[in-house]
Amino acid sequence: MKCLLQIMMIWLSGICASFGQNTINLGLQLEPPNLDPTSGAAAAIDEVVYGNIFEGLVRINQKGEVVPGLALFWELSTDGRSYVFHLADGVKFHDGELFDAEDVRYSFNRARAAGSTNAKKYIFEPIVNIDVFDPLTVMITLNHARTDFLFNLGLGDAVIVNESSAANNAFNPIGTGPFKFDKWVRGNSINIVRNDNYWGGAPSLVSATFKIITDPLSAYTAMMAGDIDAFPNYPAPENLFLFNNDANFEVVIGLTAGETILATNNKKAPFDDILVRKAMAHAINRTELINGAMFGNAVPIGTHFAPDHPDYVDMTELYPHNLSKAREYLKDAGYQDGFTVSLKLPPPIYARRTGELIAYQLEKIGIHVEIENMEWAQWIDQVLRNRNFDLTIVSHVEPMDINIYANANYYFGYDNQEFQKIIADIDESSDPRLTSELYKKAQIKIAEDAVNGYLFQLGKYGVWKNNVRGMWDNYPIRSNDLRNVYFEGGN
Amino acid sequence: MKSLPLSLLVGSGLTLIFIIMAGLSFVWTPYDVTALNIDQKFLDPSLLHLLGTDHFGRDVLSMIMVGTRNAIAVSIIAVGIGMIIGVPLGLWVAGSRMNGGSFFDEILMRGNDLIFAFPSLLMAIMITAVFGPGVINAIIAIGIFNIPVFARMTRGAAMGLWSREYIMAARVCGKGMWRISYEHILPNILNLLIVQATIQFSIAIIAEASLSYVGLGTQPPMPSLGRMLNEAQTMIFFAPWLAYFPGGAIVTMVLGLNLMGDGIRDVLDPKLRQRKGQDVVA
Amino acid sequence: MLRFISKRLLSLFSTLFVATIVIFLMIEVVPGDPAAFMMGLSTNTEAADALRAELGLNAGVLERYFGWVTGMLSGDFGISYTYRVPVSGLIFDRMLVSVPLTVYALILSTVIAIPVGVIAASRRGTAVDTTLMGVAQVGVAVPNFWFAILLVLLFSTSLQWFSAGGFPGWEAGFWLCLKSLTLPAISLALPQAAILSRVMRSSVLEVMNEDYMRTARAKGLSERQALLRHGLRNALIPVLTILGLQFSFLLAGGIIIESIFSIPGLGRLVFQSIAQRDLIVVKSVVTLLVMAVVMITFIVDLAYAVVDPRLREGSN
């Protein structure tokens, strides 16, 4: 009898387990080239490892806020130059090695060393000193106060790695996060499993598999067939309404940090003339772009700033869609007969579709646009490196990246001392209120100068089964942090 | 006179329809293919838009007409390149071999083997990675693979003719290699060339569609059948006509050309009838 | 015979040698490099330079060419620039998907094509023949990627028999993998089957006119018996040649199909590697594909020479 009861118990627990799903399949459109977030700039790396495998001193949550990470709390000196971080105790890397302040020093020194392959080396440039007081206390001293330093430490490029495993992180990432790397079938899937010894309390998922689904066609069928539980950023906005109409799925349209712009070569005629740029700004019809290219799923922007940021200034009405005004500006600039330019488009679908529409819109004021579709490698070579372009469309997905306009050598070639001063002041400022004012000033300045065509903020199209909870709604940074993800009705 | 084969009638009929459509598109299409009209997107096929509209509200029929024209233009030029380079090459090496020199023949045949050994679509992708995508590079990529086809075929046929008596006679008369090739050999292999050209033409249509499907052929705003299919891919779940019609156009056009090729072959040279189908492999 | 083989081998190796040079040069002139690609929109050119040095991209041209060729000869294909793992392993993993897919497609196409070809030939001139060959004509005209989309529409969306995305991996079980490869294999097989059935038909027709077939029939065998006992084997020779060529064609030609169905095959590996400028992968895969074609041609030539001694003399 007792034996029978035991069998019953086992049988019942089996049933319970099958009710409570604790493994998740996620769809990923782009495969990361490798899994080391401290080398290279591919967003796909962070989409897998950030917050899951690797952690920094601080973490950025899905609202874009800085929250404690490996540093439980910190003190900032009154001059804003020195941070004292108090680290979590008993944290172990996935290979069992203990994490301590020396790892912080090693990670940051590695990132700022000569010959470092860190794509955001600038984060570490203000650092003058890293002092380890004891294994759990580290002080970082900067050359001057920087309000964005803490946020930057939360980026994937500033995660803490271990000296003994750092060299192999590209293919065997060892971090301190709630998930451990398990397996990578290249071209197919990446599997991570729960880190039962996670210092912050193990997550509820036992494992997660990122399936690489490059083609939007198979993205749809894989979702419909149930092969994928969640697509954090679904590749085809035109299909979202199909999922919306299906009670089995939840669609969450959020925002990314991606300002999609019609980047304009400011150093090249005729775009060196602000009248021409203003004419183009008036010719752009954002509503049509968003409806046509993004099927209504994007937020218009009038400057280079995330519209969900508290400091955002809405500049979309500065140059409203107005063809006669646009023609007037062109005439004033001496181009009443129009001109011909090229528009170089990188591969993402948003760029290709927006590009076709932009070409059509500019044609109306006599600017004849010749579209050139290209691969990323060609785009980086021609547009970004050699600045051999007239117009291009690209989404700048880095958070808080308005400072790129202060770099006169950046590809769109905006060289304005007034703006550079604003950014320099932001860098120097340690007063949050002043910083906020300066950010607003900066946004207004580039909008008025119509440096680039400001089109829309790229959306994040989350599609998942209706029992999935805890996925990120927004992409303040590219991360699919799974620590809070679980299945409703699960254990 | 014996009645014409059915395949020739059907094939040239279909081909003619597409040629007319393509020709007409120069002067008239139901709608402007470069005009985008978002309010009119995804309209079902109707009397207003016989084949419906796409995601930018463009008329699919108009796009197919212009797309057909582009496909035909690319294919004609690509096959033309293959013939203009390949045929003289074939004549030359056949002639020089028959006149004692086999060196160039060896080189040509090895070169042929080499080109055939490369996977064609991959090479086309590589070519566009070097030069950038675009219609010219698509033509080159397709054209290159047509050269060995014509060279090999011409060489084979020409070598067979060189041992004929009337060629011997011409040689005795002191006619040079090129003159013999031009006066006696070329006219005799013309039938073969025409048949082969038709087949290569239909292969080129599919190749152009594949290239523009992966985004390497004709660039927007010029419509192309392959790119229409690619763009339709995410929309087939609610607008399947976007996939049906351009694909149907490709199939019908290629079918027409193949049938016509078979038909011409039957009419020109009944002996070849049996070997039907063998050349389609490449 | 030995002279024939050695001559063929010589040309095989010279073709391969020239091919490596062509491939290498082609890769050399491709603009853009993996280091710049991996730094994305970053302004940090210093990091890209450091990465370039780390990847060994700064060596001289000759040094890299010979390093590559000698490496390949010893089975070392180098380390992938982006994945940072050995290229040979990457290629091997993809082969585990691409080769079964190709074989599957070829089996399907043969299973369809041979009976169709034989039936059409033995009923030549009848309505059956016309219909079958008409269908084959349509099959030849269908671009495989369009056929793939139609299959997805029908089987994945409407009927929901197959999911059209991804590959579970062989450890997930044979049948699951077979299922996920079925739609791609059908898309690849259809145009090949159409071509093959036409070849099969004409090959059978040719064989039926041979003397030994007439003899067999004179001995009292019916046409069908004669065909099955004597003819079919000979009729299959041209079919095998074409199968050999189709194998290498499909191995690389699956690029579009593999991406439509999100299958991690060889074609997608090259496609992606070209885009990411992981050129060390590209050149190795292209070389392997060229090698496959050259080898298959060699074997076919050899087989013909064994069957037909006349070919050994003046084989060109």
CATH of the domain at B46: 1.10.3720.10
CATH of the domain at A338: 3.10.105.10
Interface-testing mutation among A221, A344, A384, with chain C (most C C-beta atoms within 10 A): A221
Residue A65 belongs to domain spanning: 58-160
CA distance B139 to B204: 9
If DSSP states are collapsed to H, E and C, what string results for chain C?
CHHHHHHHHHHHHHHHHHHHHHHHHHHHHCCCCHHHHHHCCCCCHHHHHHHHHHCCCCCCHHHHHHHHHHHHHCCCCCECCCCCCEHHHHHHHHHHHHHHHHHHHHHHHHHHHHHHHHHHHHCCCCHHHHHHHHHHHHHHHCCHHHHHHHHHHHHHHHCCCCCCCCCCCHHHCHHHHHHHHHHHHHHHHHHHHHHHHHHHHHHHHHHHCCHHHHHHHHCCCCHHHHHHHHHHHHHHHHHHHHHHHHHHHHHHHCHHHHHHCCCCCHHHHHHHHHHHCCHHHHHHHHHHHHHHHHHHHHHHHHHHHHHCHHHHCCCC
| pLDDT at site A6 | 53
The answer to whether residue A389 scores a pLDDT higher than 90 is yes
Closest residue in C to A217 (Cα–Cα)? C260
**Residue B139 resides in a domain:** yes
**Residue A11 resides in a domain:** no
pLDDT band at C309 (very low <50, low <70, confident <90, very high): low
- A-facing residues of C in 109-148 (CB < 8 A) are none
| pLDDT at site C312 | 56
Which chains share 3+ C-beta pairs under 8 angstroms with C?
A, B
Q: Which two tokens stand for residue A137?
A: 């206390």
The answer to whether residue B16 scores a pLDDT higher than 90 is yes
Q: Do A271 and A403 belong together in one domain?
A: yes
Of C11, C245, C316, the CB nearest to B281: C245
Average pLDDT over residues B30-49: 91
Residues of A in contact with B37 (CB under 8 A): none
Inspect the interface and report whether the beta carbons of A121 and C164 lie closer than 8 Å. no
pLDDT in tens, C172-208: 888 888 888 999 999 999 989 999 998 889 888 888 7
| pLDDT at site A277 | 96
pLDDT in tens, B45-66: 999 999 999 999 999 999 999 9
Query: CB distance from A148 to chain B under 8 Å?
Result: no
Interface-testing mutation among C17, C18, C138, C140, with chain B (most B C-beta atoms within 10 A): C140
- B-facing residues of C in 137-176 (CB < 8 A) are 137-138, 140-143, 145-146, 149-150, 152-153, 157
Average pLDDT over residues B111-137: 84
Inspect the interface and report whether the beta carbons of C165 and A185 lie closer than 8 Å. no
- Does the complex come out with an ipTM higher than 0.95? no
CA distance C158 to B229: 19
Interface-testing mutation among B31, B34, B36, with chain A (most A C-beta atoms within 10 A): B36
Query: Which of B117, B111, B115 has the alpha carbon at shortest distance from B92?
Result: B111
- Count of the separate structural domains present in chain B: 1
Distance (Å) from the alpha carbon of B60 to chain C's nearest alpha carbon: 17
pLDDT band at A154 (very low <50, low <70, confident <90, very high): very high
pLDDT in tens, A332-361: 999 989 999 999 999 999 999 999 999 999
**Residue A177 resides in a domain:** no
Of A116, A122, A217, the CB nearest to C260: A217
Q: Which two tokens stand for residue C257?
A: 């199909």
Of C40, C44, C166, the CB nearest to A213: C166
pLDDT band at C32 (very low <50, low <70, confident <90, very high): confident
Of C41, C94, C165, the CB nearest to A213: C165
Interface-testing mutation among A155, A188, A242, with chain C (most C C-beta atoms within 10 A): A188
pLDDT in tens, A52-71: 999 999 999 988 899 999 99
Inspect the interface and report whether the beta carbons of C83 and A119 lie closer than 8 Å. no
Last residue of a domain, one of A103, A137, A160: A160
The answer to whether residue A15 scores a pLDDT higher than 50 is no
**DSSP strand pairing (A299-300 vs A71-76):** unpaired
CA distance B147 to B81: 7
Strand-pair partners of A169: none
**Residue B192 resides in a domain:** yes
Residue B93 belongs to domain spanning: 6-281
Query: Which of A177, A104, A176, A92 has the alpha carbon at shortest distance from A134?
Result: A104
Closest residue in C to B272 (Cα–Cα)? C202
- Count of the separate structural domains present in chain A: 2
**Residue B184 resides in a domain:** yes
Cβ atoms B210, C143 nearer than 8 A: yes
pLDDT in tens, A429-453: 878 899 999 999 999 999 999 999 9
**Residue A420 resides in a domain:** yes
Q: Do A272 and A417 belong together in one domain?
A: yes
DSSP state, residue A480: -
Q: Do A298 and A441 belong together in one domain?
A: yes
Of C31, C143, C238, the CB nearest to B209: C143
**Residue B1 resides in a domain:** no
**Cα B46 to chain centroid, rounded:** 33
- B-facing residues of A in 426-445 (CB < 8 A) are none
Query: CB distance from C14 to chain B under 8 Å?
Result: yes
CA distance C150 to B246: 12
Query: CB distance from B107 to chain C under 8 Å?
Result: no
pLDDT in tens, C101-121: 999 999 999 999 999 999 998
| pLDDT at site C10 | 87
Set out the domains of chain C in order of their start, with CATH numbers: 13-73 (no CATH), 87-314 (1.10.3720.10)
Q: Do A124 and A263 belong together in one domain?
A: no
pLDDT band at A10 (very low <50, low <70, confident <90, very high): very low
Average pLDDT over residues A165-173: 94
Inspect the interface and report whether the beta carbons of A238 and B235 lie closer than 8 Å. yes
Position with higher pLDDT, C53 vs A253: A253
Q: Position of tokens 């080129």? A: B204
Position with higher pLDDT, A249 vs C276: A249
pLDDT band at A85 (very low <50, low <70, confident <90, very high): very high
Distance (Å) from the alpha carbon of B191 to chain C's nearest alpha carbon: 20
Query: CB distance from A238 to chain B under 8 Å?
Result: yes
**Residue A65 resides in a domain:** yes
Query: Which of C135, C121, C242, C134 has the alpha carbon at shortest distance from B281?
Result: C242
**Residue A127 resides in a domain:** yes
Percentage of chain A beyond pLDDT 90 is: 79
Please provide residue A469's backbone torsions phi and psi, each rounded to the nearest 5 degrees.
Answer: -125, 155
pLDDT band at B73 (very low <50, low <70, confident <90, very high): very high
**Residue A155 resides in a domain:** yes
Last residue of a domain, one of A132, A160, A188: A160
Q: Which two tokens stand for residue A276?
A: 């021409």
CB-count exposure of residue B190 (10 Å: 0-12, 13-18, 19+):
exposed
Average pLDDT over residues B31-47: 91
CB-count exposure of residue A140 (10 Å: 0-12, 13-18, 19+):
buried
| pLDDT at site A275 | 96
Inspect the interface and report whether the beta carbons of A217 and B233 lie closer than 8 Å. yes
Position with higher pLDDT, B274 vs A217: A217
pLDDT band at C211 (very low <50, low <70, confident <90, very high): confident
Residues of B in contact with C30 (CB under 8 A): 126, 129-130
| pLDDT at site B273 | 47
Average pLDDT over residues C130-139: 92
Cβ atoms B236, B79 nearer than 8 A: no
